[in-house]
């Protein structure tokens, strides 16, 4: 347990005392807390009310230390990574199509749409997968990056079709994909990296289930 996790108990304990050098220590041992999960000297001080920061989101490692083993296992059993990935891929493709449509309509490739794509992918994966493990966050980031690249590519196909007075699907099917790396590099700009990074970051942080300190208290019946 971390020092802050120990202090969550110590601040509510009758046996606490303040030490000028170490802060809150145990009045029985004279030392800072060093227990794991449960302190044998803990006596609750009912007069102390510790405010709960309901906005603090906790993830797998923190949840494991704060929840009873049975509750933590239940959260893990609810996870469905394949379902989350399927939802993320579907939303990424849908958003990339919308991205291309807007680009063709405005005649510009707006990298700002990458952020919306990342958020949409993250939310869909959180809702579908109910995951708490890091694998959900990593998957969300990867899918959002691929979605951004797909959105840019579909927009480029549209521009090529327009310049050559060809149909969109005709161009998509007839495109020589051996030139794809060259085309993507030629149309790439440094600003794209910024928006791609933001998209991946949003997806990474949103793709997992949000469990707050308040939720922990409720799960523990406190």
Same domain, yes or no, for 153 and 95? yes
The runs of H, that is alpha helices, within 11-112 are 60-66, 69-77, 81-106
Mean pLDDT calculated for residue range 75-102? 91
Q: 116 with 183, same domain?
A: yes
* Three-state secondary structure call for residue 44: strand
Considering the domain boundaries, does residue 182 fall inside one?
Answer: yes
Dihedral sign, Cα of residue 121, residue 123, residue 127, residue 131 = positive
Angle between helices 190-206 and 113-129 (to 10 degrees): 20
Give the separation between CA 122 and CA 140, rounded to whole angstroms: 6
pLDDT band at 82 (very low <50, low <70, confident <90, very high): very high
Pair 106, 206 in one domain? yes
pLDDT tens digits along 133-190: 889 999 999 999 999 889 888 888 888 888 888 888 888 888 888 888 888 888 777 8
Answer yes or no: do 18 and 114 share one domain.
no
Task: Classify residue 45: in a domain, yes or no.
Answer: yes
Tell me, yes or no, whether 198 and 135 share the same domain: yes
Strand partners, 33: none
- Least confident span in 26-35, 67-76, 210-219: 210-219
In a domain? residue 59: no
- Summarised one tens digit per residue, pLDDT across range 3-62 is 888 887 888 888 898 887 888 899 998 889 888 878 888 888 877 655 544 445 556 666
Same domain, 130 and 22: no
Are 86 and 193 in a shared domain?
A: yes
Give the integer Cα–Cα distance in Å for 168 and 162: 8
Q: What's the distance, Cα to Cα, between the start and end of the chain in Å? A: 20
Q: What tokens were used for 135?
A: 């694998």
Residue 62 located in a structural domain: no
How many other C-beta atoms can be found within 10 angstroms of the C-beta atom of residue 98?
Answer: 16
Same domain, residue pair 26 and 92: no
Q: How far apart are CA 140 and CA 146, in angstroms?
A: 10
Structure tokens at 88: 């993320």
Kindly state whether residues 198 and 119 are assigned to the same domain.
Answer: yes
Residue 8, SS3 per DSSP: helix
More confident site: 5 or 199: 199
Distance CA 67, CA 45 (A): 22
pLDDT at 54: 46
């Amino acid at each position: 347990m971390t020092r802050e996790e120990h202090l969550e108990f110590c601040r509510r304990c009758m046996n606490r005392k303040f030490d000028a050098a170490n802060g809150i220590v145990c009045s029985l041992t004279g030392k800072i807390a060093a227990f794991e999960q449960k302190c044998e000297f803990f006596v609750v001080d009912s007069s102390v009310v510790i405010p709960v920061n309901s906005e603090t989101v906790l993830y797998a490692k923190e949840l494991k230390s704060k929840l009873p083993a049975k509750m933590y296992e239940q959260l893990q059993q609810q996870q469905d990574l394949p379902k989350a990935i399927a939802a993320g891929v579907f939303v990424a493709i849908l958003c990339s199509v919308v991205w291309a449509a807007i680009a063709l309509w405005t005649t510009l490739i707006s990298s700002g749409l990458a952020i919306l794509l990342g958020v949409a992918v993250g939310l869909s994966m959180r809702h579908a997968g109910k995951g708490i493990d890091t694998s959900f966050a990593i998957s969300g980031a990867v899918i959002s990056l691929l979605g951004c690249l797909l959105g840019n590519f579909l927009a480029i196909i549209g521009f090529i079709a327009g310049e050559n007075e060809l149909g969109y699907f005709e161009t998509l099917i007839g495109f020589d994909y051996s030139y794809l790396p060259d085309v993507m590099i030629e149309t790439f700009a440094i600003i794209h990296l910024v928006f791609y990074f933001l998209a991946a970051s949003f997806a990474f942080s949103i793709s997992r289930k949000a469990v707050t300190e308040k939720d922990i208290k409720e799960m523990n019946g406190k």
